[in-house]
Structure 1
Amino acid sequence: MAIRDRGKKKWQFAFGMPELIKAQRNLWIDQKRMEKPIIDDYEKEEFDQRICYALEHNLPIKVTIWTDGFSSDITGRIHYLNPISYQLRIELQRGEFRRINFGDVIDLSVVD
């Protein structure tokens, strides 16, 4: 007596439920999220000194930003610093700018 296997048909039900696949993807993404690190006053003061140094010598900076549980790096030159709205405008390429809030910055370094 031969065993008759159904092949791929036995797994077909899992691909018929898009909600299950979406829930699994969201679960995997949520596992990679991190909490926002706490930046103390000494680190903020050090960030200010690095910004001033980069502005004075027109050097590029590398900024690590925390956005919704994930961090990303941005490298460019400081174009404008707005102390009223607590924003930093960075020129990524010639004519391409990006605004960054001071509250989202978790690391800042000057690229020599």
Structure 2
Amino acid sequence: MLRDRGLLKWQPAHFMPEHRKMLSDVDQDYYKQAKPQLDEQELEEIGIIVMESLNYTLEIKITIWQAGYFNDHIGIVSRVDYLMKYIFLEKEDENIKIMIVDITAVERN
């Protein structure tokens, strides 16, 4: 009976684990995006929407930029810390602390 090596035969024998990790890192870096620069009008609009969520308990969607990738969070702003520059966002099951400088967009839900 012939025993096949399965998927192992399709992997090059000369690739070491370090090479595979390097190729994976290069692939991940390809999809990273630069942080957008917000102008004064966009920052003002973000501030207005955040304060509406805080004052009227409205649900908003906050887009943040972290390490080259964009993440969306939906919730209600529970607190704004101007001194430390954080926004605290209440989600269904957790509270998230978001740095104000990481925010790239805010939308009303």
- For the aligned pair, the TM-score class normalised by the smaller chain equals 0.7 to 0.9
The 1:45–1:24 alpha-carbon spacing in structure 2 relative to 1, beyond 3 Å, is same
Q: Which residue of 1 aligns with 2:96?
A: 98
The 1:13–1:102 alpha-carbon spacing in structure 2 relative to 1, beyond 3 Å, is same
Instruction: Determine if contact 1:81/1:87 at 8 Å carries over to the other structure.
Output: yes
TM-score after normalising by structure 2: 0.86
Q: Tell me which stretches of 4 or more aligned residues in structure 1 moved more than 6 Å.
A: none
Give 5+ residue unaligned stretches, structure 1: 1-7
Matches of 2:62 and 2:41, distance apart in 1: 17
Residue 43, structure 1, aligned to residue 38, structure 2: no
The amino acid across from 1:13 in the alignment is A
The two structures, once aligned, show a CA RMSD in angstroms of: 1.9
TM-score after normalising by structure 1: 0.83
Sequence identity, in percent? 26
Matches of 2:10 and 2:27, distance apart in 1: 25
Q: Which residue of 1 aligns with 2:79?
A: 80
Instruction: Determine if contact 1:14/1:20 at 8 Å carries over to the other structure.
Output: no
Instruction: Count matched residues.
Output: 103
Per-residue Cα deviation, 1:63-98 (whole angstroms, up to 9, x for no partner): 00100000010001111111111100001125x211
Matches of 2:46 and 2:76, distance apart in 1: 15
Q: Could you tell me how far 1:33 is from its partner in structure 2? A: 0.3
Q: Could you tell me how far 1:11 is from its partner in structure 2? A: 4.5
The amino acid across from 2:13 in the alignment is F
- Secondary structure at 2:73 match in 1: strand
Q: Could you tell me how far 1:14 is from its partner in structure 2? A: 4.0
- Secondary structure at 1:36 match in 2: coil
The 1:85–1:13 alpha-carbon spacing in structure 2 relative to 1, beyond 3 Å, is same
